[in-house]
Amino acid sequence: MSYDFLSHILSLVRSRQPLVHQITNYVTVTDCANASLAIGASPVMAHAPQEVEDMVALAQALLLNIGTPDEDSIKAMLMAGMAANAKNIPVILDPVGAGATPYRTKSSERLLSELRISIIRGNQSEIRALLGLSGETRGVDSVTAEADFSAMALEAARKFNCVVAATGKIDYVSDGKKCLAIYNQHPLLQKVTGTGCMCSALVACCVAAQPTEPLEAAATAVAISGLAGEIAAAKITPSLGSGSFHVELINAFAEISPETLQKNARIKYV
């Protein structure tokens, strides 16, 4: 099987510069905007009921991230999501902290039941929580033991009838039929806030550029995230900390060429 989609989809992001409407949390929103710009897309944040329908109509994808949820933001997500669905604009959900509190789990379930979601990108604890399985989400960080996560990604993709990117030590991306495993990663990605949120933003940018291949778009974004973590970690060795890693991560998003991605992504169908 071919993995040529990696360089192809990144090239499309760079050439098409898609507009990505993001309704997200106030902790990592700046990083999501800068990561989107760095890989070549154009982010726009808007949440008022007076404008979300107009804004999403201009966009090529809509990202919904519940990192700091409340009733107003969930309503804005539903309104924007319905407008996106009506226009066949792909909707990406990041169910941040699902499983940590009932409110986050229920809000995720509500978005999944009332909207047609194209791609879910969450850590493996969050995906587990959406499946109603036991396990633990600690705050917004994943602590579930590594297990048969490829089966879990497949199951979630079937249950929610969408592509699921379940990230962890190994990342799994499935559309319910096929499953890709991605082995790029670096532990420092856990030491900077927003690396999961940025990964979801990149997923939205990639599917915005190539809406007909959501599985491949999600896998491309996940591979970019992991590889950028590796590149950034190499840059700061041996003596710098997470502040410099954060800067180098954005640098890496901007600097990764389609060829570098194709050459260094460690990906396979499992």
Pick out residues in 204-263 that bind a copy of itself (CB under 8 A).
239-244, 246-255
Instruction: Enumerate the β-bridge partners of residue 268.
Output: 181
Q: How far is the CB of 134 from a copy of itself (least distance, A)?
A: 16
Q: How far is the CB of 64 from a copy of itself (least distance, A)?
A: 15
Q: How far is the CB of 101 from a copy of itself (least distance, A)?
A: 4
C-alpha 267 chain-centroid distance: 17
Q: Which residues contact 245 (CB under 8 A, 6 or more apart)?
A: 188, 191, 192, 232, 233, 236
Among 49, 126, 54, residue whose Cα is nearest residue 93: 126
> What is the per-residue binding string for a copy of itself in 111-140, x denoting contact by CB under 8 A?
---------------------------xxx
> What is the per-residue binding string for a copy of itself in 82-101, x denoting contact by CB under 8 A?
---------------x--xx
> What is the per-residue binding string for a copy of itself in 141-180, x denoting contact by CB under 8 A?
x---------------------------------------
**Which long-range contacts does 51-54 make (Cβ < 8 Å, 24+ apart)?**
52/21, 52/23, 52/76, 52/79, 52/80, 52/83, 53/79, 53/80, 53/83
- Residue number with CB closer to a copy of itself (46 or 270): 46
Q: For a copy of itself, which stretch binds (CB under 8 A), given 33-41, 108-116, 125-133, 216-224?
A: 33-41
User: Which amino acid is located at 115 in the chain?
Assistant: L
- Residue number with CB closer to a copy of itself (13 or 179): 13
Among 53, 13, 47, 45, residue whose Cα is nearest residue 29: 45
User: Which amino acid is located at 212 in the chain?
Assistant: T
* E strand residue ranges, the chain: 19-23, 42-45, 61-65, 91-94, 119-123, 137-138, 141-142, 163-167, 171-174, 179-182, 267-269
User: Which amino acid is located at 236 in the chain?
Assistant: I
Q: Establish if 80 lies at the interface with a copy of itself (CB under 8 A).
A: no
List b or e across 215-230, with b for residues whose CB sees 16 or more CB atoms inside 10 angstroms: bbbbbbbbbbbbbbbb
Q: How far is the CB of 191 from a copy of itself (least distance, A)?
A: 5
Identify the DSSP state of 61.
E
Q: Which of 4, 70, 114, 259 binds a copy of itself (CB under 8 A)?
A: 70
Q: How far is the CB of 127 from a copy of itself (least distance, A)?
A: 19
- Residue number with CB closer to a copy of itself (55 or 215): 55
- Residue number with CB closer to a copy of itself (168 or 176): 168
Q: Distance between CA atoms of 97 and 250, rounded to whole angstroms?
A: 24
Residues that bind a copy of itself (CB under 8 A): 19, 21, 25-31, 33-34, 37-38, 42-48, 50-51, 54-55, 58-59, 67-71, 97, 100-104, 138-141, 190-194, 239-244, 246-255
